[in-house]
Amino acid sequence: MKIFLSSSIVIYKNDPIVLRRTIESFLNTNLSVKLYIVDNSPTNYLEQFCKGENIEYLFGKGNIGFGAAHNTILRQGRKLGKYHLVLNPDVYFSAGVLESLVDYMNINQDVGLVMPKILYPQGQVQYLPKLLPSPWSIIKRKLPIPKSLKNRIVNNYELRFVDENKIIEVPIISGCFSLFRTTVFEKIGIYDDRFFMYFEDFDISRRVHKHFKTIYYPNVFVYHGYERGAQKSWRLFKIFLSSFVKYFNKWGWIADSERVVVNKLTLSKVKNK
């Protein structure tokens, strides 16, 4: 049977109950699907929770990082569908979400990447659609300042002033749930695996946005745990800083004319919505 929708999940010592909920969310569809699970863990303990029809489990490359692990699926030779979903192992959703998203992409052939509304498990909105970041927009967002002040600082960057229920085009789509039109990889390539973790989604979303529409589609929603690991772990914070430097070395720290143009155009569009 021809695959219509493929997906890849990268795991590393995850909670098996949470992981299984994510797997079952993806498989709960009438679409023709294939799920690839790449296990970066030191042992294959999680394999027993990754069994099922239309699932392929891969283990043994070690902890090669988020983007590099997804690339093992995205590279030529892996059988992908017309659409490919990059999915975090702590995301879950109801039946019908996948169908709604692919229907939208079927109708809108100029859309290369889409994400739904993302909610915390308690139901609050996660502000994940964003403008292209500047170094200051990242730094200010991470500062330990009062929430009310932080909200004012990041209001534009995280597009918090936009009605959360409006479909908008944004240059940054979250990597926790990224639905790609598979043909875009032929144009823009796959993940830049110099990013071990963090900013790889910013980088690929930006590259897709240069050639295709990248859409926030809030007519459906998913739940995401969103651990904010870099704020709790010194090791993860060092990885975050490394990726932060790599991203701005690649795209520009101060001189980034593309960022200025894209953000200005994005703001003008969403303010006129």
| Mean pLDDT to the nearest integer, 250-256 | 93
Does the domain at residues 5-130+162-227 carry the CATH identifier 3.20.20.100?
A: no
What was the pLDDT predicted at 179?
98
Of 89, 97, 129, the residue nearest 5 (C-alpha): 97
Structure token digits, residue 84: 């490919």
125-140, pLDDT tens digit by residue?
999 999 999 998 888 7
- The domain limits of the chain are 5-130+162-227
User: Other CB atoms closer than 10 Å to residue 32's CB: what's the count?
Assistant: 14
What average pLDDT does this structure show over 182-210? Answer: 96
Give the relative orientation of helices 234-251 and 135-142 as an angle to the nearest 10 degrees.
Answer: 160
Tokens of 161: 């002033």
In angstroms and rounded to an integer, the radius of gyration of the C-alpha atoms of the chain is 18
Q: How many other CB atoms sit within 10 Å of the CB of residue 219?
A: 14
The pLDDT value recorded for residue 97 is 98
Q: How confident is the model at residue 2 (pLDDT cuts 50, 70, 90)?
A: confident
Q: Does residue 1 register a pLDDT over 60?
A: no
Residue holding tokens 């970066």? 40
Give mean pLDDT, residues 87-93: 97
| Residue pLDDT, tens place only, 97-117 | 999 999 999 999 999 999 999
Cα–Cα distance for residue pair 5/2, rounded to 1 Å? 9
Q: Where are the alpha helices (DSSP H) in 16-164?
A: 16-27, 66-74, 97-107, 135-142, 147-153
Q: Which of 58-62, 82-86, 134-138, 229-233 has the lowest mean pLDDT?
A: 229-233
Residue 6 phi, psi (nearest 5)? -110, 165
Nearest by Cα to 187 from 211, 213, 215, 214: 211
Closest listed residue to residue 115, CA positions, set 240, 213, 47, 43: 213
This prediction has a pTM of: 0.93
The tens digit of pLDDT for each residue in 20-72 reads 999 999 999 999 999 999 999 999 999 999 999 999 999 988 999 999 999 99
For 159-178, how does the pLDDT look when each residue is reduced to its tens digit (9 = 90+)?
999 999 999 999 999 999 99
pLDDT value for 247: 96
Compute the mean pLDDT over every residue in the chain, rounded to the nearest whole number: 92
Pull the structure tokens for residue 128: 């994940």
What is the pLDDT at residue 148?
Answer: 72
Is 40 strand, coil or helix? Answer: coil
* Among candidate residues 152, 150, 155, 128, the one with its CA nearest the CA of residue 215: 128
Task: Work out the pLDDT band at 227, boundaries 50, 70, 90.
Answer: low
Report the distance separating Cα 91 and Cα 272, nearest Å.
32
Give the pLDDT confidence score for residue 272 in this predicted structure: 78
Give percent of the chain with pLDDT exceeding 90: 81
Q: What's the pLDDT at 42?
A: 96
Instruction: Provide the pLDDT for residue 61.
Output: 86
Classify 148 in phi/psi space as left (phi over 0), alpha (psi -120 to 50) or beta: alpha
Q: What does the pLDDT average to over 208-213?
A: 98
Instruction: Evaluate whether 158 touches 127 at the Cβ level (below 8 Å).
Output: yes
More confident residue, 13 or 145: 13
